[in-house]
Amino acid sequence: MNAYLCSVALLGGFLLILTNGAPSTTTGTPTPMLKSCVDYTTCDECVGNVSCIFCYTDNKCMDYPKKHIIPRAEDCDLSQSRWGTCVVNYKALLIAMGTIAGALLLSCSCCVLYCCYCRGPSGRQRRKWAKDDAKEERKKSERQMKQDQRKAERQAKNDEIRRKYGLLQNESDDEDERPMTQVTEEL
């Protein structure tokens, strides 16, 4: 649980630094030195500096506890401390950031699982193979039909030629059973 809170606090600090605490890169006038946290008197002034935390129990601004990541109870209660904004207390900020991080992690995990296992290459590949197999089977049956048709046409032509020259003795005989009579030409 402590590691979870630490990671959430680091994530929240990183986001606040990115949005509010990024140093300006303007040229011209040098940036003024930041005041010490104890010099700030109001919450708005205090939380404007990301290295400070404001405690409502004693209405004082103090340095953010860098060694502990999360303020200890002896420094200030989490429900009474403010960091980054005066509107939301530190405890609610930790819970909100943890919830958002958990929801993002869960949704990313679901997307990865869906893409890799449900729609992954195995399912897609099987559908493609089935489609290719059906296409090949259809082509094979078409070729077989054409071959049978050509065979029947050849048989009909051969029978007609045999009938013309009197080589066909019995029309009901099959091709394999028909005796072939040899016609010898007399010279």
Q: Encode the chain (187 residues) as per-residue pLDDT tens digits.
A: 444 555 555 556 555 554 554 444 444 444 455 678 888 888 998 888 888 889 988 888 988 887 877 778 788 888 888 888 888 888 888 899 999 999 999 999 998 888 777 765 666 777 888 899 999 999 999 999 999 999 999 999 999 999 988 887 665 544 444 444 444 444 4
Q: What angle do CA 43, 44, 50 make, to 5 degrees?
A: 90
Q: Which two tokens stand for residue 93?
A: 């900020």
DSSP 80: T
Q: Is 51 exposed, middle or buried (0-12, 13-18, 19+ CB in 10 A)?
A: middle
H/E element holding 81? strand 81-82
